Amino acid sequence: MDYPDRDPVLTRRSIRAYRDEPVDDATVERLLRAGMAAPSAGNQQPWQFIVIRDRATLDQIPTWHPYAKMLPSAPVAVLVLGDPAGVKWAGMWPQDCAACVQNMLIEAELLGLGAVWLGVHPLPEREAALRELLGIPEELVPFALVPFGWPRQRKEPADRYDPSRVHYERW
């Protein structure tokens, strides 16, 4: 089997420093398209997105999110929201949204962009702060925030393959 030379699943790392250059709307749409291509239970697609470019909004978030210090250097961030109302497999919405976020991270890597998953759900204080800041209605759940930017840092791929975690046929 010939494996690809460049595999964005294996090279992706969290990038937390960005160059002072814009990410254009077409590129953001491409990232959203990748997110919406994710698998979801029964293909229920229980997600909504808020694209945030406003400087004051992005700069405000690290005042209460303890691990979001990179946001002031990001030209854009996407908030992924869960939208479980009325779907058949409502309890699976976090898994669906996680697949969506991961798809966007992998697409970013493929495009040469840097990105990092900033955890929001299930921490109530982070969800509440984003609700207040962005006017999010009760039925939606802020799930994860992902800043994107052209990377100002390079990281080596992390090979985390651990054969001791793999079990065959039964425990």
* 158 touching ligand FMN, by CB under 6 A: yes
Which secondary structure element, helix H or strand E, spans residue 117, and what is its range?
A: none
* 116 touching ligand FMN, by CB under 6 A: yes
Diameter of the chain measured on Cα atoms? 53
Distance in angstroms (rounded) separating the CA atoms of residues 89 and 85: 10
Evaluate whether 154 touches 85 at the Cβ level (below 8 Å): no
Evaluate whether 57 touches 133 at the Cβ level (below 8 Å): yes
Pattern 52-71, ligand FMN, x by CB under 6 A: ---------------x----
* 97 touching ligand FMN, by CB under 6 A: no
* 118 touching ligand FMN, by CB under 6 A: yes
Angle between helical axes of 25-36 and 93-111 (0-180°, round to 10): 140
The letter for the amino acid at 60 is: Q
Stretch that binds ligand FMN, among 11-19, 52-60, 74-82, 129-137 (CB under 6 A): 11-19
Stretch that binds ligand FMN, among 26-34, 53-61, 83-91, 110-118 (CB under 6 A): 110-118
* 74 touching ligand FMN, by CB under 6 A: no
Binds ligand FMN (CB under 6 A): choice among 10, 13, 17, 51: 13
Nearer to ligand FMN, 88 or 123 (CB): 123
Burial tier of 57 (Cβ tally within 10 Å: 0-12, 13-18, 19+): middle
* 150 touching ligand FMN, by CB under 6 A: no
Interaction site with ligand FMN (CB under 6 A): 13-14, 16, 67, 116-119, 158
